[in-house]
A and B are shown apart, each in its own frame.
Chain A
């Protein structure tokens, strides 16, 4: 006869409520690891899918995913000249925040190297890749934009021609894919008045210098757009992505490029590790500690619940001992209830989590490994948390049945 099940059946309502509480707590523990997995997946998604063997970034920076990186536009051509390089593409990447329908809309703007890259590699839920060099975009589904929507960014409007599936930046913002030219136009959109003031300031600075006095023609140049002035134009790319030709040696190419004094070069793996060891590492540790704390709290709560359940049964336990039940029967009663509580709580956590996690603003990814690990932890804390109750039950004297 299974005494644990009989006792639960007798106090079913209380057990259900208790299990529900434990289940919700375990769901939070489960969610914590899911959130971490989601962050890692989101952070590395772009790097993994964009098909770049090498990343050329601003010298002594860790690349556009870690910090601001600026490289000149002609770096693409320099990279292409290296033997063994199949393609070199511009990488423009920045985040903007606009307002749409009264709500903030954050977009991670990614420039595609038109016409070589039209975004064919982007997983689409609907629509198509970019079809023209300007004024089209592919929007991640999390941005809430629909096919055919038009969104004004900077001085231009862009039509949504594709809806991407799960293309999220490391910050959790949905990615919008544009051509490089459009991405730069969005990034460097400066109001007309600011441009005029900058040109006037530039002319004034030139006028005050010897150079301006001795070469007045230069002052005329100062009034032209900054992008048309090679000597003073800002580097406008975040990085250059290099794909190695079949049979090419990425290490050799990286060695050549790293010899250039204005850039640093990272392999795909290196860039991925930098990303994970940088911004994601702190989140990982924070979530890990929080998860540990929640696990300990869950164990303490379960221990208190099991202790209380044991206290409620003290008379029955004394009676069982009186009629000769060996300790294993009493121990089994408490341990089985602890395991049932843990297993049912875990099941509830999983079932509710499956329905609740998709509603979270960021992805919560439950991996088989994490689920198995949590199951093992739950079994462990179920056993550990029953120790207090078992200790109490073992101390009960059969005499107490007579009182």
Chain B
């Protein structure tokens, strides 16, 4: 039977430095995200949101605690239990505040590369990348370099790249910060739709209070402490 949780974090703590310079960025954080669930992570700057996201994204291992993806322990404290880069490639999609596209690749190539890294042939990868770009409404800009795209178009290409390998986890760090409210709403809609369609667990760090209705669950972080926040009745 499939594990019901796409993401589980258990008692994550992250401490930077030691002695007098010790900073506790995240303290004993626990969270469970079901397949198809979209979670909002709120909190002021420096509260530990990005630390949590990079720990779940297997980029910045915690000092202690566990990270489980689809029931598999991938991080036990700072110790990886799997090949992290390979695991990221297959199971995790990232979207950032800045689009973070590779500047020397065209829009379609930015998506294609993620597919090719996962073993798709160039032909298959290109065809699938084009489908995704068309789906996200940027198909006509497929041959353009990122520098020739608007912020919204770049972000949609980045979303296409994150979704390309149909990951079980999507992590987004303020993906709508650089977009106007209409585009921001569209991107958030997209996450919700993809999460439900692909049964992926999605964590979105956001400050955008206007889209909170799209999230299934809301968490808040403050001074490294994570707590679940009840959704306001709409």
Contact = CB atoms under 8 A, between A and B. Distances in A.
Give the dominant DSSP class at B's interface: helix
Given A6-B104, A6-B105, A316-B103, A402 B88 contact: no
A67 to B, nearest CB: 64
B68 interface: no
Given A10-B103, A316-B104, A324 B89 contact: yes
Contact of A6 (B88, B96, B109, B125): B109
B117 A325 contact: yes
B145 interface: yes
A320 B110 CA distance: 10
A251 interface: no
Contact of B88 (A3, A323, A329, A399): A323
Contacts of B89: 323-325
B90 to A, nearest CB: 7
Interface in B5-59: 50, 54, 59
Interface residues of B, number: 29
A402 B117 contact: no
B69 interface: no
A1 B102 contact: no
A9 B143 CA distance: 14
B116 interface: yes
Contacts of A10: 103-104, 145
Interface string A337-370: 0000000000000000000000000000000000
B112 interface: yes
Given A1-B113, A324-B117, A9 B104 contact: yes
Interface in A364-403: 397-399, 401-402
B60 interface: yes
A322 interface: yes
Nearest to A324: B89
B59 A319 contact: no
A139 B116 CA distance: 68
A321 interface: yes
A1 B112 contact: yes
A7 interface: yes
- Nearest first, the 5 closest Cβ-Cβ pairs linking A and B are A324-B89, A10-B104, A324-B88, A7-B104, A316-B102
Given A326-B117, A397-B59, 17 more contacts: A1-B116, A1-B125, A10-B104, A322-B59, A322-B88, A322-B94, A323-B88, A323-B113, A323-B114, A323-B161, A325-B113, A325-B117, A329-B117, A399-B59, A401-B96, A402-B59, A402-B173
Interface of A: 1, 3, 6-7, 9-11, 316, 319-326, 329, 397-399, 401-402
Interface of B: 50, 54, 59-60, 85-90, 94, 96, 100, 102-105, 109, 112-114, 116-118, 122, 125, 145, 161, 173
28 contacts: A1-B113, A1-B125, A3-B104, A3-B105, A6-B104, A6-B105, A316-B102, A316-B103, A320-B102, A322-B94, A323-B88, A323-B114, A323-B161, A324-B85, A324-B87, A324-B90, A324-B118, A325-B85, A325-B89, A325-B117, A326-B117, A329-B117, A397-B59, A398-B59, A401-B100, A402-B59, A402-B96, A402-B173
